[in-house]
A and B are shown apart, each in its own frame.
Chain A
Amino acid sequence: MLVTTTKGEMDDSLLVKKEGTVDNENELTTWVEYWLGEELVHRSVHVTLKKMPTFAGLEAASFG
Chain B
Amino acid sequence: MCTSFLGELLGATHNFSATNVARTVNTVDTFKAALYFTTATINASTTAYTVTGEVTNTSGTGYTAGGVTVTNGVAPASTNSSVTAGVGYWTPGGSFQWTSMTVTTAFDTVLLYNSSQGGKAVSVHTFGSQTISAGTFTLTMPSNTTTTALIRLATV
Contacts and interface: CB of A to CB of B under 8 A. Distances in A.
Nearest to B146: A60
A25 B137 CA distance: 20
Interface string A23-64: 000110101110000001111111111111101101011111
Contacts of B59: 6
Contacts, number: 103
Question: How many residues of B sit at the interface, in one of the four size bands?
Answer: 35 or more
Given A55-B44, A61-B1, A62-B156, A49 B140 contact: yes
Interface stretch (B20-28, B64-72, B73-81, B125-133): B125-133
B18 interface: no
Contacts of A33: 133
Contacts of A55: 1, 43-44, 124
Contact of B132 (A43, A50, A52, A64): A43
A49 B152 contact: no
- Overall SS of chain A's interface: strand
Interface residues of A, number: 32
A48 B1 contact: no
B152 A26 contact: no
- Top 5 A-B residue pairs of the complex, sorted by shortest distance between their CB atoms: A44-B135, A48-B140, A60-B152, A43-B133, A61-B1
Interface of A: 4-6, 22, 26-27, 29, 31-33, 40-53, 55-56, 58, 60-64
Interface of B: 1, 6, 43-44, 59, 87, 100, 102, 123-128, 130-142, 147-148, 150-156
